[in-house]
Amino acid sequence: MIAEAAHARGLDGLTLRDVADDLGVSIAALYHHVTSKDDLMRLAAEYSAARVPLPVDTGQHWAVWLYEWAEYNRDAFLAQPGLLAQYMEGAIPAEAIAGNLEAILAALVRQGFSVTEANDAYELVSACALGTVVVAIREREVAAEGHGSAEALRQVVASRGPDALPHLRHLLDDVAAAGRLPFHRRIATVLDGIAVRRGDDPRRIDELLAEAAST
């Protein structure tokens, strides 16, 4: 109940008083079950992460498997931005991570990766996914203040001469016309590099990820 109440509140700015009030108990009563705010945040982080369905190993291509885990990481952290801080601070215990990592490595090893190669591939994909999360959270917070980062950059460009910042001007025009690169194509950039090192055809990787992203 404590973890569920904390999850419902959201991890950003979460306090023991918030959870106690929502449960209709005193803070002293909470201390019978959690030892500190850090302990509360750990419980909430574990509960929040468990709410996002885990990828299921059905023998899918290694690139699709890694893409599904990238989606999982993205969705888990976007659903609870405060979870990212808990992850960065090491508040999510190793016990909660070990089983998932074992499953990830096992599926990749079956498809010809060494254990080290499998871990390196997962870390690269995860880093890309988390980078996307950071950008999305930042954009969300900026938008809540009534303006976007792209708009702020356009104002800077507009304040300069017509020949100033030509590459940034071009980029802003491209983003306005085509939008940002879709998530699956960002991940494909990483997976294409892994494919080349393995001797796989990166065009096949792009096809598989486009299909996975559309389902």
Looking at the predicted structure, is the pLDDT value of residue 45 above 90? Answer: no
Looking at the predicted structure, is the pLDDT value of residue 49 above 90? Answer: no
Which amino acid belongs to residue 26?
A: S
Q: What is the per-residue pLDDT across 79-128, written as a single tens digit (0 to 9) for each?
A: 777 777 777 777 666 777 888 899 999 999 999 999 999 999 999 999 99
Residue 138 has what pLDDT?
81
| pTM summary value | 0.76
Residue 147 has what pLDDT?
65
What is the CATH number that goes with domain 1-51?
1.10.10.60
pLDDT class of 178 with cuts at 50, 70, 90: low
For residue 71, the surrounding DSSP H or E stretch is helix 62-79
**Residue 198 CB neighbour total at 10 angstroms:** 14
Q: What is the per-residue pLDDT across 135-167, written as a single tens digit (0 to 9) for each?
A: 888 877 776 666 666 777 888 888 988 889 999
Q: Which long-range contacts (CB under 8 A, 24 or more apart) does 156-162 make?
A: none
CATH 1.10.10.60 spans which residues of the chain? 1-51
Cα gap 41→9, rounded to integer Å: 11
Among 48, 40, 45, smallest CA distance to 23 is for 40
- The alpha carbon torsion through 179, 157, 145, 126 (nearest 10 deg) reads 50
Is residue 87 packed enough to be buried (19+ CB in 10 Å), middle (13-18) or exposed (0-12)? middle
Looking at the predicted structure, is the pLDDT value of residue 182 above 90? Answer: no
Yes or no: say if 187 and 125 are a contact pair by the CB < 8 Å rule. Answer: yes
Cα gap 76→48, rounded to integer Å: 7
The single-letter DSSP state of residue 57 is: -
How many Å is the maximal CA-CA distance in the chain? 66
What is the secondary structure of 82-100 as a DSSP string? HHHHHHHTT-S-HHHHHHH
Q: Stretch 183-203: mean pLDDT, rounded?
A: 94
Yes or no: say if 12 and 6 are a contact pair by the CB < 8 Å rule. Answer: no
